[in-house]
Chains A and B, each alone.
Chain A
Amino acid sequence: MRPLGLRNIFRYLAVFVVAVSLNFMLPRLMPGNPLALLAGVDVGLMTPAERAEVIEAVGLDAPLIQQFIDYWWSVLRLDLGFSFRSERQISEMIMERLPWTLLITVGSLAVSAVVGIVLGGFSAWRRGKKSDLSLLTGMISLQSLPSFWLGMLLISVFSVQLGWFPSFGAVTPASDFEGWGHIGDIAKHAILPIVTLTVLSIPGVYLTMRYAMLEVLGSDFIRTARAKGASEARVLFGHVARNAIAPVVTFLAIRFAFAFGGSVIIETVFSYPGLGRLIFEAVSGRDYPVMQATFLVFTVAVLVANLVADLLYPILDPRMRVR
């Protein structure tokens, strides 16, 4: 494994500092203000003095630079603060949502990684043949499905028409399931979102795998290996797949990191209580602390995924050496 040099550490730190600072600026750059959220819908009924009091109570009257310093101080102390809207600990709110988001995204990612790599490899191997073409066509068609369209159609068919799966939520509200019943309940709620997400992410894995494989298949050393008389299977698994896996891993690592941003559309369609909805509601209502906190989690996740991909790259692709 390539040691993580000082330079790289500095690089990651720089990205972290810039991104986290931008996360502070983004909410404040947005038009509109969090007053409606702080004061409730009756904000219009308040006197200017009452409004000023509300703004002061959360420190939004302080100079921007002061707020910025406070923000960094709380980031460094890992203190995510309280939501404007619910006045709850944000860390608590995120921990409530994260498992649900991870359940559906990791579930779908696992399925699509296996299916996508296998089919992508198969497709590249059978390049130009009918099976490759059908797969490619099918995958690109799948990729062209609008996610909410697919989700709504699945709800129409499997929930409304057939009644097989629930159409919303992560668990049956106010139910008294215990043990296996509870797990079954969760599984039933997760299936449609996972299916939707899987259908949507298989083509990405598949195409990345296929293209990477094709590239490797065409390179000199493969032809050398073939010329040396290595068996097709040996070429395929010993050389090609091993060398093609790097872009796929990068792709999967980033997709996994993006799970920490939730999947707004799918969570909206299925009323699924994940991080994506938390972020979307925070953004719509200008809940600055929640926006900052969720962005921070997202930022850290993506950075870590990049770091992992960077560290893994030389191991996965033996040809590559960055001095």
Chain B
Amino acid sequence: MKLLNRKRTKKRSPKVANRLGMLGGGMVLFLVVMAIGAPWFAPYDPTERVGLPFQPPSAAHLLGTNDVGQDLLSELIYGARVSLTVGIVAALVALVLGTSVGVLAGYYPKRLGRFLMQGVDVILILPFLPLLIILAAYLGRSLLNTIVVIGVLIWAGPSRIIRSQVLSLRSREYVLASRTMGAPDRWAIMRHVLPRTALLATGTFVRAVSTAILLEAALSFLGLGDPLQKSWGSILFWAQSRGAFLTPAWKWWVLPPGIMIMVASLGFALVAFAMEERINPRL
């Protein structure tokens, strides 16, 4: 009863956000545990051919087998490793790059900002696809390179949005005040600009995680990833290339990885939502 009362009077309840954050954290934790404990949870080694190809679900293979007889459930469990790693690390790369460049360019809009934004403009303008093929060809195909490629490709957009924000913050009273009082730029950035940008950056990071996971899947779909890497994206690639979309197999081969991707993305988003509440409670 007390809880309800408080909720009504405060108009907005951090409890709801916290609870959603817990839920998201639970989802992420679930996936992380699944990724780390994959060898114990998975009934089979996902790279071994343990059954006949194209088997529907059975007691031995709860989600059936894929086109060469590998266990789909085991692939799904191991898939958490690749998809989460690619998603989180690539998004971190993008977050660090994008925020630093965005804040610097926004706070120093003159020479440095112009130069940085010029670089961002060039990157945004470069055609994505051949860039990817060139990078993949020169770096070779490995998990690390997929991460680097995705991270490098997605930071530029967020940096522009953050720059817009900083540019707008920069001319606000408190920043102007701290500047006229002779405080160093570093102080103004840390005290005023970064906290107010963190919200946007968090949102960007959330988007970057799911973008990275989706990009990994999309790259596989176009044949530009490493389809033998066991990720959810590559499970979908095989489902697509062996026609599972158009057969009853879509229920156990196509739906689960798609759902896992959604769960992962949603989990992160909810965590970020709760974080955002904490970072900037005034909002």
Spell out A's residues near B (CB within 8 Å): 7, 11, 14-15, 18-19, 22-23, 26-27, 29-31, 127-130, 133, 136-137, 140-141, 143-149, 152-153, 155-156, 160, 204, 207-208, 211, 214-215, 217-220, 246-247, 250-251, 254, 261, 264-265, 268, 279-280, 283, 291, 294-295, 298-299, 302-303, 306, 313, 317, 319-322
CB of B173 within 8 A of chain A? yes
Q: A268-B222, A298-B127, A319-B168 are in contact. List 7 more A-B contacts (CB 8 A).
A: A15-B122, A146-B236, A148-B217, A217-B283, A264-B222, A317-B168, A320-B167
Spell out B's residues near A (CB within 8 Å): 12-13, 16-17, 20, 109, 114, 118, 121-122, 124-131, 133-134, 137, 157, 160-161, 164-165, 167-168, 171-174, 196, 199-200, 203, 206-207, 210, 213-214, 217-218, 221-222, 233, 236, 240, 245-246, 250, 254, 258, 261-262, 264-266, 269-270, 273, 280, 282-283
**Inter-chain contacts of A19 with B (CB < 8 A):** 121-122, 125-126
**Inter-chain contacts of B269 with A (CB < 8 A):** 136-137, 140
**Interface residues of B, dominant DSSP:** helix
Instruction: State A313–B163 Cα separation when bound (angstroms).
Output: 12
Are B133 and A148 neighbours in the complex by a CB distance under 8 Å?
no
Closest A-B pairs by Cβ, 8 of them: A144-B265, A218-B283, A128-B12, A140-B269, A144-B262, A152-B245, A19-B125, A15-B121
Are B199 and A215 neighbours in the complex by a CB distance under 8 Å?
yes
CB of A64 to closest CB in B, whole Å: 17
Are A149 and B127 neighbours in the complex by a CB distance under 8 Å?
no
Of B118, B214, B283, the contact of A15 (CB 8 Å cutoff): B118
Q: Can you list 13 A-B pairs with a CB-CB distance of less than 8 A? A: A26-B126, A128-B13, A141-B262, A141-B266, A146-B233, A149-B236, A207-B203, A220-B174, A251-B161, A295-B127, A298-B125, A303-B125, A320-B168
Instruction: State A246–B114 Cα separation when bound (angstroms).
Output: 19
Are B172 and A319 neighbours in the complex by a CB distance under 8 Å?
yes
Are B130 and A146 neighbours in the complex by a CB distance under 8 Å?
no
